[in-house]
Structure 1
Amino acid sequence: MIAFVEADETTPYTEQLKESTGPVVLINTFTVPEGRTEEFLALWRKDAAYFQRQPGFISTQMHRGIAGSRILVNVAVWQSAAHLAAAHSNPGFRPGGEGYPEGCTVSPHLYEKVAVDGICVG
């Protein structure tokens, strides 16, 4: 089972999923015990394949920390928070991170693109 850690205690992930906004970017930070990364990635691959089949899914990309880091970060884009919430409530989803290596943590948080004049678009 994976331990859930809020990325921002003032804005719980479950509350973010209730927002009627989109598109949204899910940045999901995982800490994986040493020597368990390949086991973790095998399970994550199955979960990612499930999410790819859900309505509103746009893309995902996993990133691994370098120099021996135990941190992995998934960046996923969804059409809306509602689409992601629906994917979480679908009976095909494994709630609570069942099967992940003991000692793993997850910190999901939703974001929107921000326009910064002359730098990036919203």
Structure 2
Amino acid sequence: MIDLRNIDAAEPFLKQLQGEDSGPITLINTFVVPEGEMQSVLDLWQEDSFIMKAKRGFISAQLHRGLGDSNILTNVAVWESVSALRDAFSSEEFQSLLPQYPDGSYCYPHVVRKVAVEGVCVA
């Protein structure tokens, strides 16, 4: 089963899912995959993604893998709102896949929103 860990103790992921619901958000979720389990995690992530893509408010997702022999995957998913992500994450269909991840798998999900920095990027 996958273990969800918090990258920011001051704002845990499950607390973020209860937060402000204005405008699009991005979920950045970094997975640490046990040695020898990359293909099984990729297969499960694909199943997860098909479920999430069918949910209200899903906009896009992109999976990234660390270079070389890295056991790191990072999913960047955009949602219309926090409530849309919360509803999708809480769905029985999605939750039923989490125990199928190999033992020793863990991830660091965190919800972010674009920030404007003058001369560099827009929000």
TM-score bracket for this pair, using the shorter chain length: over 0.9
Structure 1 gap segments, 5+ residues each? none
Contact 1:50/1:93 (CA < 8 Å) preserved in 2?
Answer: yes
Secondary structure at the aligned position of 1:43 is classed as helix
Q: CA deviation at 1:93?
A: 1.8
Secondary structure at the aligned position of 2:94 is classed as coil
Match of 2:85 in 1: 84
Aligned residue pairs total 122
Match of 2:4 in 1: 4
Q: CA deviation at 1:64?
A: 0.2
Match of 2:55 in 1: 54
Match of 2:16 in 1: 16
Distance in 2 between residues matched to 1:40 and 1:27, nearest whole Å: 17
Q: Kindly, what percent of the aligned residue pairs are identical?
A: 44
Contact 1:2/1:96 (CA < 8 Å) preserved in 2?
Answer: no
Match of 1:120 in 2: 121
Q: CA deviation at 1:108?
A: 0.3
Query: After TM superposition, where is structure 1 displaced by more than 3 Å over at least 4 residues in a row?
Result: none
TM-score, scaled to structure 1: 0.95
Write the deviation string for residues 21-76 of structure 1: whole angstroms up to 9, x where unpaired. 33100000100011110110001100000000000000000000012111100000
**1:32-111 aligned within 5 A:** 32-95=33-96, 97-111=98-112
Structure 2 gap segments, 5+ residues each? none
Q: Letter of the aligned partner of 2:36 in structure 1?
A: G
Q: Letter of the aligned partner of 2:54 in structure 1?
A: R
Q: Letter of the aligned partner of 1:5 in structure 2?
A: R
TM-score, scaled to structure 2: 0.94
Distance in 2 between residues matched to 1:21 and 1:72, nearest whole Å: 28
